[in-house]
C-alpha cells in the first residue's frame, strides 16, 4: 500500500543544505516532510537529560524506545516544532552539542531500529520528502528518486555558522569546521547505516550553487515534474 506513495530521499552530510532544500521541495510538491535528524537529536537530548551515558548502548536504546517524539506545525509558519515527551525542545536540539550527541547515539543499532517504524510512518499520500543520512540506503530503499547532497566542508561550516549565529548561538568558524569534520567522519565510518550515497542516488554538489537552482535541479529528477 504505502509503497505506492512516492518518496524523494535527500541524504548528505551536515550543512549540505538538506534541511532548507527538503523544506522547499516539500512545500513546492505539497508533500509531507520527514526531518529524520530531528529524531536522532531528540533521542540524544532525552538520553542526556536522563543522565544516561551516551556510550551505554542498552540504556540509550531503551530511552529511544520509550521517548515520545512529536512534530507540530508552527502556528507562525516557521519551522516545525519538535516535542520530546510533550515538551517543546526545538531550540535546544539545534545546538552543536546536541548534534554531536545525536551522532554518537545514531551509531547504536538498537536506536536506529527503534526509530525505523516511526520514520516509515511518515510515508503518507500524496508523497514524502525524507531528509537524513540513510533515507535512500535503508529507510526508504525503494524510493524512486534519491538525491545525495554534498558541499565542501568549508562551505558547510560557513552555512552552519550563519544558521547558529542567526539563532543567537555563539560558536567560532574554526571550531565548527572541526566539529563538522569529526561528525562527518563518525557518520561515514559507523558500521550500521553509514553516510554513503545509495548506488542509485544522484549526487548534487551545492558548493556555490543557490538554493533555488538546487531545488529546480532536484524537481527535474522527479517523474512527471
| Chain contacts with ligand C5P (rule: CB under 6 A) | 14, 36-37, 40-41, 99, 102-103, 106, 132-134, 183, 187
CA distance linking residue 171 with residue 177, whole number of Å: 10
Cβ nearer to ligand C5P, comparing 17 with 99: 99
Cβ nearer to ligand C5P, comparing 106 with 143: 106
- Minimal distance in Å, beta carbon 139 to ligand C5P? 7
- Which of 219, 184, 170, 223 has its CA nearest to residue 28? 219
All three cell numbers of 53: 551515558
CA distance linking residue 143 with residue 6, whole number of Å: 7
- Minimal distance in Å, beta carbon 38 to ligand C5P? 6
Question: H or E element: which one contains 132?
Answer: strand 128-132
- Minimal distance in Å, beta carbon 134 to ligand C5P? 5
- Minimal distance in Å, beta carbon 224 to ligand C5P? 27
Question: H or E element: which one contains 134?
Answer: none
CA distance linking residue 85 with residue 70, whole number of Å: 8
Cβ nearer to ligand C5P, comparing 53 with 225: 53
Cβ nearer to ligand C5P, comparing 123 with 183: 183
Amino acid at each position: 500500500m504505502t509503497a505506492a506513495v512516492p518518496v524523494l530521499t535527500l541524504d548528505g552530510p551536515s550543512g549540505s543544505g538538506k534541511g532548507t532544500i527538503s523544506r522547499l521541495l516539500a512545500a513546492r510538491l505539497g508533500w509531507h516532510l520527514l526531518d529524520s535528524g530531528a529524531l536522532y537529536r531528540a533521542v540524544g537530548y532525552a538520553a542526556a537529560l536522563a543522565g544516561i551515558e551516551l556510550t551505554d548502548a542498552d540504556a540509550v536504546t531503551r530511552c529511544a524506545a520509550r521517548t515520545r517524539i512529536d512534530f507540530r506545525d508552527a502556528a507562525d509558519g516557521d519551522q516545525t516544532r519538535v516535542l520530546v515527551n510533550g515538551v517543546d525542545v526545538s531550540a535546544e536540539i539545534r545546538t552543536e552539542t546536541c548534534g554531536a550527541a545525536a551522532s554518537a547515539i545514531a551509531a547504536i543499532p538498537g536506536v536506529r531500529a527503534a526509530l525505523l517504524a516511526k520514520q516509515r510512518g511518515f510515508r503518507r499520500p500524496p508523497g514524502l520528502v525524507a531528509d537524513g543520512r540513510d533515507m535512500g540506503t535503508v529507510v526508504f530503499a525503494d524510493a524512486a528518486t534519491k538525491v545525495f547532497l554534498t558541499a565542501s566542508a568549508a562551505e558547510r561550516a560557513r552555512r552552519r555558522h550563519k544558521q547558529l549565529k542567526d539563532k543567537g548561538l555563539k560558536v567560532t568558524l574554526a571550531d565548527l569546521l572541526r566539529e563538522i569534520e569529526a561528525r562527518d567522519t563518525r557518520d561515514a565510518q559507523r558500521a550500521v547505516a553509514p553516510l554513503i550515497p545509495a548506488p542509485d542516488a544522484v549526487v548534487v554538489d551545492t558548493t556555490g550553487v543557490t538554493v533555488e537552482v538546487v531545488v529546480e535541479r532536484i524537481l527535474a529528477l522527479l517523474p512527471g515534474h
